[in-house]
Each structure stands twice: as structure tokens, then as C-alpha cells.
Copies of this chain bind each other. A is one copy, B any other.
Amino acid sequence: MIRKEKINYMLIEKSFDDFLGELASSAPVPGGGSVAALSASLASALTEMVANLTIGKKGFEKVEEEMKKISRESSDYRVKFLKDIDKDAEAFTRVMDAFKLPKNTQEEIMKRKKVIQEEFKNAALVPLEVAEDTLKLMELTSKVVEMGNKNAISDGAVAAMMARSAVLGALYNVKINLQSIKDENFINKVLKKVHKIESNVIEEEKKIISNVGL
């Protein structure tokens, strides 16, 4: 069930050792947004693992087709979130680039302000999407914990933990970017989504954990 599409981005081709070193440095990227996306990818991989450890096992014939579907879907999420590691770093880089735009004339000043605002909105929307998608992934995690191979139940539990941190971590990155946005309508619309996801993820994690029973 392993899909080995090679993704042509930068950060995800690094080794952990190198990535963690760069993360720890005072360089502006990667940061918390990329870590949230990585956490979501780890949650996807663990969900996929539990599904794969259920497929073909005696006593799980009834859920075989469901587990195959979950394995495929969480594999897609895994690859998608891996790409989001770079997407978040890129969004933040674009904010910084916008600040470097020239501001010699009135026109340039107006243009620079506009681009900065656009890039902050993009930098808020990237982690918002990570949070929304991770919440959807958690429905798959919930199913493998409930119906999957009990020998891998602790892996399902860790998946739920990583997904919860991915969602809440991504939302912190949404909220910090909102602080620099002036469009009240945009802020209110996004905040409404943020609060809904926050309460949903806490409920979803509790539900999964109650099924782990360790």
C-alpha cells in the first residue's frame, strides 16, 4: 500500500537531522506552520499503517474493503500534507518578500501595502486548509481505532495525538497572521472557521481516545 510518488519540493527531501537543525535556527523558515503540516502527515501515515496492519488479517474480513479505502485515502493525505510543509514555508517567505518591495513613490507605497495584505491572507489560508484537512483525516483515524487491528491500537492513539497537534498548531499560525490583516470581513470569516475547527478537533480527539481504552 506504500505509494512512492517522489515529490519535488525542498524541505521534505532533507533528512530529519538537517531539517531539525534548520528549524532550530533563527532563520525565519521553516517554522511552526511547517511543523503542523509535518505532524498532519505523520498522523496520516500512522492511520494508513493501522489500516495496512488490518488488511488480510483473520477476524477482520468484514472491514477489509473499508480498510483498503482508508489506506488509499490516508496515503493521499500523507502526500498532500508533505507538500504543505513547503507550502507554508513558501507562504511566509512571500510575506517577507512583500516587505522588501520598493516604497519610493506614493504608487509604490500603495502597491506594497496591497501585496503585503494579500500575502498575509495567503499565509493565513495555507494553515487554515491544513487544519480543515486534518480534521477530515481524523474521521479515518477514528475508524481504524474503532474497527482496526487492536495490536496497533497505540499507533492509532499516537495518530490522533499528532492530528490534534497539527490542527491546533496550524490554527495558531492562522491566528498570528490574522493580527497583521486589516480586512475585518476576512478576519471575521476566518475566525468563525477557526473557532468551529477548534471545538470540533477537541471533541474528535476525545472520541478517538475513548475508543483506544489503554
Interface size grouping (class) on chain A: 35 or more
The answer to the question of A46 belonging to the interface, with a C-beta cut-off of 8 Å to chain B, is yes
Complex partner residue of A173 from B6, B31, B53, B154, CB under 8 angstroms: B154
Whole-angstrom CA separation of A33 from B41 in the bound complex: 16
The answer to the question of A109 belonging to the interface, with a C-beta cut-off of 8 Å to chain B, is no
Q: Which residues of B contact A82 (CB under 8 A)?
A: 16-17, 20
A98-106, A131-139, A157-165: which lies at the interface:
A157-165
Beta-carbon contact of A48 and B32 below 8 Å = no
Beta-carbon contact of B26 and A158 below 8 Å = no
Q: Which residues of B contact A11 (CB under 8 A)?
A: 16
Give 24 CB contacts A-B under 8 Å.
A1-B26, A2-B24, A2-B25, A12-B17, A14-B16, A15-B15, A16-B85, A17-B82, A20-B82, A21-B45, A23-B42, A23-B49, A24-B52, A24-B78, A25-B49, A26-B52, A31-B154, A32-B46, A32-B154, A38-B42, A39-B162, A39-B165, A158-B169, A162-B165
